[in-house]
Structure 1
Amino acid sequence: MTAGSARRGALDGLIVLDLTAMLAGPYCTMMLADQGARVIKIEPPGGDKTRRNGPHLVGAIRPEDGGFGGYFGSTNRNKESLVIDLKKPEGHALFLRLVKRADVVIENYRSGVMERLSLSYERLREVNPRLVYGALRGFGDRRSGASKYLEWPAYDPVSQAMGGIMGITGQTRNGAPTKIGPGIGDIGPAMFLAFGIASACWRAQRTGSGQFVDVAMTDSVLAICERIVFQYGATRKSPGPEGNGHPLLCPFGLFQAKDGFISLGVPNDHFWALTVERMGSPEWACQDRFATNDSRVANSDELEAHLTAWTIKRTKRELSEIFGGHIPLGPVFDAADIFEDEHFRIRNMLVETEQPGTTEKLTIAGTPIHMSDTPGGVRKRAPLVGEHTTSVLIDLGLTEQEISALREHRVVQQRTTD
């Protein structure tokens, strides 16, 4: 799929002022933009520092000239870029003027930054009572509960560690925790915040009253790890690293094939009977030590050894043909496999976007949310630094003379090639 072919989404008309950086905040605003919201990325002079993060296509406009690499390009698609120096009085006043026209403000600064800029939620609400204000921090905002970690900086590995997900990830044989590959400590909170923002906007449209939406990265990871909470609550035993299996289901996890690994999930006795039937060993379903899920969990080492001895003699393709469509199964894919599998093209999950300065396309992940009437999706590439400064300010009510004065005093920045 090529960017631009997607129709407007369900949030068309919603105006979002995006003060976020790194991954968590931009991923949240990306989700809103994918569904049609007009997301105006407020960047500091010089632009968002994550523009420098690669990889970079050969010939593309470099970050020092206002361009961006793959990291920025992926999570800032569908957005407009407006450069404002919020530390200058004129920039502060300009932002308040924009807030009057906006529906949402989202930021992921450390606690207290917006207060020091005199742009707190309480101040912005005076300007626009229907404003929905979203905040995403490592340990939340004091308005919802002042954690002792409130002032601690946090990134993905920190929230993964303290939210519980690392404690149950890793090989059981040595108990060493393992970080989850993708930035789930950023992306999970981003999803929760996007949901909270959409919920608050629905209320604001009906009542005219906005509110403060607070999401903590660490809280979000714990919410994703909900199983460890009820397990410990019931047993007072902390679950440890689970390896590639499941503590409550068996067989449920990774099994070695001749040319890699497959993920096999057998959630109940019905699927177990189908599994052993497809394997040509239906008698396994009747053996006492394997007949029920509880007995399989109790004898998981023996069962998984038997199953692996059978799967390792067959390729991923052969196993897919045996189990596919009958038993929950998936071959373990790497990125090259994903690019080659037609499923992801058919589902518009691989989207080609323009990269200014080169004819090469940057392929980014599409949105997994598909709506019948307002499908949304990737409509346009990420913006260059300040690419939309003039057009955004005109649309939001400023005159050309006002914009010219702001440029002259270096309050805003506009690309000279526009």
Structure 2
Amino acid sequence: MTTRPQSTGALAGLRVIDLTQMLAGPFCTQILADHGADVIKVEAMTGDGTRLTGPFCEDDTLRDYGGYFQSVNRNKRSIAVDMKTAEGVALVRTLIDGADIVVENFRAGVMERLGLAYETLRETNPRLVYGTVRGFGDPRSGASPYADWPAYDVVAQAMGGMMGITGPDRHTPMKIGPGVGDTIPALMLCIGILSAVHRMKETGLGQFVDVAMTDAVLALCERIVYQTSYTGVVPGPEGNRHPLLCPFGLFRARDGYVSIACATDALWAKLATAIGRPDVGSDPAFATNAARVGNAQRVIDLLEAFTSIRTKEEIATLLGGKVPFGPVCTSAEIFADPHYAVRDMLVDVEQPGSAQRVKIAGVPIKLSDTPGAVRRRAPMLGEHTDEILLATGYSSEDIDRLRAEGAVR
């Protein structure tokens, strides 16, 4: 039985074998690690490919990993295993037998070819919760005609409907900036895994948890489903407007853009007063949301006559706290914003090989009694191989032999 390190957090006591790489899988297991789970990241001998992806600190003499890997692999331990060898596969099977959760994002069929299919693993670990995230899901939940297609964030955004309603005009679909085609599926997989763990604690039996990246993106874009079903209209890119609410979007400021969102007529009346136009608050052409949607360009022109001659800070002074409002922030402005400091959302961590500490995003889910935290930096490749194997029951001689045979690093 593998010894489990002491940890704090709501998920302390759970062990996760993390066979994921890139973004979707690691982001899911990072959330589990942030909240106290012991996440063992099993990497190939060359490591997760994102170790090679920057940015790197200029003085980094090791280049074991850069910002990408650091950001989504904090709080984890790393063991490097050659799963092309029988010894490596047997070792991973041993780790999984002592775990509560295994997460992987290989293409469908890879784990089966390794002899590590869910059906095989549950024979010796019936409590195992097996989580997977793939572009088009696992055939167990529904055999997609695209099941063998590789997928990344941009593919999920495109096929899940997100790009189809995003862009400056109806003819120009556009990619969302962050990798939401990865991170949203990761969040949904995390919810699924924890749901299965809750059930397992009642029944003693684990289960298979499957999330398709495209499905998760479609679920996030739920509005396009009911719009098409109810009206027969196929939504297209809407720029910085909302098709059903007005005003609800972005407006030019003197030094950038601000967001204003008035989803109710009462908020519109408050906004009209705040911008010095109480008359339009009750004007029949603007008084109801339906009227404002019908006169959307007039509403936008009216608001931008106010916002375009003022800075974001000036607008914040006039609108902040009165109506739903926020400036469009750059990363530099986020770094200077006291909100993110007091909420611990910019966390300093060590960067191996560099004399400077670096910042990564903090833990957004705040629990009062068992808070999550960034407790330690991301691991170097194979940093914890010996520690993990010794705790699992391997002797020092066993580890030396496995290393000499090239099964571990």
Match in the other structure for 2:251: 255
1:342 paired to 2:346:
no
Question: Offset at 1:301?
Answer: 0.9
Does residue 183 of structure 1 match 2:179? yes
Report the equivalent of 2:303: 307
Shift of 1:61: 4.2
Displacement after TM superposition at 1:399 (Å): 2.1
Out of 240, 246, 249, the residue aligned to residue 242 of structure 2 is: 246
- Match of 2:361? 365
Task: Determine the C-alpha separation between the residues in 2 that align with 1:283 and 1:369.
Answer: 42
Rounded to whole Å, the distance in 2 between the matches of 1:404 and 1:227 is 57
Give 1:102's aligned amino acid. A
User: Is 1:199 aligned with 2:202?
Assistant: no
**Separation of aligned partners in 2, 1:190 and 1:48:** 17
1:81 to 2:75 alignment:
no
- Counterpart AA for 1:198: L
What's the counterpart of residue 138 of structure 2? 141
Question: Amino acid of the residue matched to residue 302 of structure 2?
Answer: H
Deviation string 1:362-381 (CA, Å, 9 cap, x unpaired) is: 21001101111111110000
Who is 1:12 aligned against?
A: 12
Q: Deviations over 1:87-133 (max 9, x none)?
A: 21111111111111100110001111111111111111112110000
User: Hey, what does 2:315 align to over in structure 1?
Assistant: 319
Instruction: State the match for 2:3 in structure 1.
Output: none
Aligned to 1:329: 325
| Alignment partner of 1:407 is 2:403 | yes
Render the CA deviation track for 1:261-297: whole Å, top value 9, x for unaligned: 1000001001001000111111101211101000000
> Contact 1:52–1:68 at 8 Å: present in 2 too?
yes
Q: Which runs of 5+ in 2 are unaligned?
A: 1-6
Q: Does the alignment pair 1:122 with 2:119?
A: yes
1:39 alignment partner in structure 2? 39
1:164 and 2:185 are equivalent in the alignment: no
- 87-96 or 259-268, larger mean C-alpha shift: 87-96
- Code of the residue aligned with 2:93 in structure 1: it is L
User: 1:362 is paired with a residue of what secondary structure?
Assistant: strand
Of 267, 272, 279 in structure 2, the residue corresponding to residue 271 of structure 1 is 267
Question: In structure 2, what is the Cα distance between the partners aligned to 1:62 and 1:239?
Answer: 49
Q: For the aligned residues, what is the CA RMSD?
A: 1.0
Q: Measured at CA, do residues 49 and 154 of structure 1 come closer, stay the same or move farther in structure 2, by a change above 3 Å?
A: same
Structure-2 separation of matches of 1:332 and 1:143: 43
Aligned residue identity for 2:23: L
Question: 2:110 & 2:79 partners in 1: Cα distance?
Answer: 20
> Would you say the 8 A contact 1:96–1:127 is kept in 2?
no
Q: Structure 1, residues 230-252: CA drift from partner, whole Å, max 9, x if none?
A: 11110111111011011110001
Contact 2:17–2:41 (CA<8 Å) still a contact in 1? yes
Structure 2 length-normalised TM: 0.97
For 1:29, the equivalent position in structure 2 comes to 29
The separation in 1 between residues aligned to 2:378 and 2:119, in whole angstroms, is 31
Deviations 1:340-389 (CA, angstroms, capped at 9, x unpaired): 11111110110111011222012100110111111111000000010000
**SS in structure 1 at match of 2:402:** helix
Match in the other structure for 1:91 = 88
| Per-residue CA distance 1:29-79 (angstroms, 9 max, x = gap) | 00100010000000011211210000001232434xxx1011101000000
Q: Is the 8 A contact 2:62 2:352 kept in 1?
A: no
- Counterpart residue identity of residue 73, structure 1: Q
Q: Any unmatched runs of 5+ in structure 1?
A: 1-6, 414-418
CA contact (8 A) 1:43 1:81 kept: yes
Aligned identity (percent) is 55
Retained in 2: the 8 A contact 1:99–1:127? no
Judge conservation of contact 1:255–1:263 (CA < 8 Å) in 2: yes
Distance 1:28 1:147 in 2: 23
Return the alpha-carbon distance in structure 2 between the equivalents of residues 168 and 62 of structure 1: 43
Q: CA deviation at 1:303?
A: 1.1
Moved more, 11-20 or 355-364: 355-364
RCO comparison, higher one (Cα < 8 Å, 6+): 1
Cα distance in 2 for partners of 1:89, 1:247 equals: 57
Distance in 1 of aligned mates of 2:61 and 2:368: 36
Partners of 2:391 and 2:225 lie apart in 1 by: 49
**Alignment partners' CA distance in 2, 1:194 and 1:86:** 25
CA distance in structure 1 between the partners assigned to 2:21 and 2:15 by the alignment: 18
1:69 maps to what in 2?
A: 66
Residue 213 of structure 1 aligns to a residue whose secondary structure is strand
AA aligned opposite 2:297? D
Aligned-pair CA distance for 1:406? 1.3
Output the CA distance in 1 between the equivalents of 2:299 and 2:339. 32
Q: Measure, in 1, the Cα distance between the counterparts of 2:263 and 2:391.
A: 54
Tell me the residue number matched to 1:3. none
**AA at the equivalent of 1:14:** L
Give the 3-state SS of the residue equivalent to 2:356 in structure 1.
Answer: strand
